[in-house]
């Protein structure tokens, strides 16, 4: 790179910076978004939160029913994740470059995975809501489908990353496909896979709240109910219990990860 080119580069960066500023200003102007005004509303919003989201002893009475719904949500997330994990394992074995049976199934498995992954879980809930109605099956299925796509993708990567060489070696000894998958691929990738499953359980507990609002199940439905009846103290309590649960699950799964990896 010579001096002239360096100058050119600097000029380019300056131009790009100015363009970004211009786009930001234009977008704000078009959408009537005023940065200063929004900053000024912050203190007011905080004031509202403090006065309305205070948890009183009265709201604590609702704790048992909240815990009940929360447990339902946690179990639903775990069930959806584990079911999806089992099916993902098969899809991943078919889809992986290292363990694929043939190209047709490989492409098919990858297609199923990317199809279910690239539609957001919220969209899945709404689509399934129409066909299955408002019940816990819908929530379960929405989480299941999203998890399936993500886990298949993650498993394919774990398999490809860890096993190419040992699969080659075992093929050369005359081992069959099932020998190789059972005795080399799965033992080698299992910790990685468990780690992904734990990650998905955490994520699903978070999304289950949103999915619940849409499909009327679990803690999400309860949140929605109190929110619409303007009982904000209970809404605050529910939010805090969700946050605490997610943190606890995260700590727990970190602990499990440390043991298995």
Partner 1 sequence: MSLLQVEGLGKYYNQQTKVLKDINFEVESGEFISIIGPSGAGKSSLLRCINRMVDISEGHVVFDGEDVGSMKKSELRRLRTNIGMIFQHYNLVPRLTVIENVLHGRFGYKSTLQGVLGRFTEDEKEKAFELLGKLGIADHAYKRCDQLSGGQQQRVGICRALIQEPKLILCDEPIASLDPNSSKIIMDYLRKITNEMGITCLVNLHQVDVAKEYADRIIGLNKGEIVFDGPSNMLYEDRIESIYGIQKRELITV
155 contacts 196 by C-beta, under 8 angstroms? yes
Piece of the chain touching partner 1 by CB under 8 A; list 74-82, 106-114, 139-147, 172-180: 172-180
Query: Of these, 63, 101, 123, 183, which contacts partner 1 (CB under 8 A)?
Result: 183
Query: What whole-number distance in Å separates Cα of residue 218 and Cα of residue 72?
Result: 6
Query: Can you list the pairs that 220-228 forms with residues at least 24 positions away whose Cβ atoms lie under 8 Å?
Result: 220/73, 220/139, 221/69, 222/65, 222/66, 222/69
The vertex-236 CA angle with 233 and 242, nearest 5°, equals: 145
Query: Of these, 173, 228, 230, 255, which contacts partner 1 (CB under 8 A)?
Result: 173
Task: Confirm or reject binding of residue 256 to partner 1 (CB under 8 A).
Answer: no
Task: Confirm or reject binding of residue 175 to partner 1 (CB under 8 A).
Answer: yes
Task: Confirm or reject binding of residue 259 to partner 1 (CB under 8 A).
Answer: no
Kindly tell me which of 68 and 168 has the beta carbon lying closer to partner 1. Answer: 168
156 contacts 234 by C-beta, under 8 angstroms? no
Kindly tell me which of 133 and 187 has the beta carbon lying closer to partner 1. Answer: 187
Query: What whole-number distance in Å separates Cα of residue 115 and Cα of residue 163?
Result: 26
The vertex-237 CA angle with 38 and 124, nearest 5°, equals: 75
Task: Confirm or reject binding of residue 258 to partner 1 (CB under 8 A).
Answer: no
Chain positions 62 to 81 lying near partner 1, rule: CB under 8 A, are: none
Piece of the chain touching partner 1 by CB under 8 A; list 8-16, 61-69, 180-188, 228-236: 180-188
Choose among 237, 239, 236: nearest CA to 247.
239
Choose among 146, 144, 147, 138: nearest CA to 214.
138
Task: Confirm or reject binding of residue 184 to partner 1 (CB under 8 A).
Answer: yes
Kindly tell me which of 35 and 178 has the beta carbon lying closer to partner 1. Answer: 178
Chain positions 185 to 214 lying near partner 1, rule: CB under 8 A, are: 187-188, 191
The sign of the CA dihedral 191, 192, 194, 195 is positive
The vertex-243 CA angle with 238 and 247, nearest 5°, equals: 150
Task: Confirm or reject binding of residue 172 to partner 1 (CB under 8 A).
Answer: yes
Task: Confirm or reject binding of residue 101 to partner 1 (CB under 8 A).
Answer: no
Kindly state the smallest distance separating residue 162's Cβ from partner 1, in Å.
Answer: 8
Task: Confirm or reject binding of residue 176 to partner 1 (CB under 8 A).
Answer: yes
Task: Confirm or reject binding of residue 179 to partner 1 (CB under 8 A).
Answer: yes
Kindly tell me which of 120 and 187 has the beta carbon lying closer to partner 1. Answer: 187
Binding residues for partner 1 (CB under 8 A): 165-166, 168-176, 178-179, 182-184, 187-188, 191
């Amino acid at each position: 790179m010579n001096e002239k080119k360096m100058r050119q580069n600097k000029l380019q960066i300056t131009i790009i910076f100015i363009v970004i500023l211009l786009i930001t200003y234009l977008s704000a102007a078009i959408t009537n978004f005023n940065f200063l005004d929004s900053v000024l509303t912050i203190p007011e919003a905080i004031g509202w939160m403090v006065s309305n989201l205070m948890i009183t002893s009265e709201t604590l009475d609702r704790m048992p029913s909240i815990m009940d719904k929360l447990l339902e949500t946690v179990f639903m997330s775990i069930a959806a994740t584990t079911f999806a994990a089992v099916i993902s394992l098969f899809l991943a074995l078919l889809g992986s470059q290292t363990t694929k049976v043939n190209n047709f199934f490989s492409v098919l498995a990858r297609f199923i995975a990317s199809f279910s992954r690239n539609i957001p879980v919220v969209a899945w809930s709404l689509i399934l809501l129409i066909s299955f109605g408002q019940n816990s099956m819908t929530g379960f299925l929405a989480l299941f489908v999203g998890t399936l796509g993500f886990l298949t993708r993650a498993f394919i990567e774990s398999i490809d990353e860890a096993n190419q060489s040992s699969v080659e070696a075992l093929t050369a000894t005359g081992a069959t496909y099932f020998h190789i998958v059972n005795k080399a691929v799965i033992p080698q990738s299992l910790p990685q896979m468990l780690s992904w499953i734990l990650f998905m359980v955490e994520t699903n507990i978070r999304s289950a709240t949103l999915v619940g609002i849409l499909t009327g199940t679990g803690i999400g439905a309860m949140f929605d109910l109190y929110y619409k009846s303007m009982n904000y103290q209970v809404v605050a309590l529910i939010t805090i219990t969700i946050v605490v649960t997610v943190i606890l699950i995260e700590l727990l799964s970190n602990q499990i990860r440390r043991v298995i990896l």
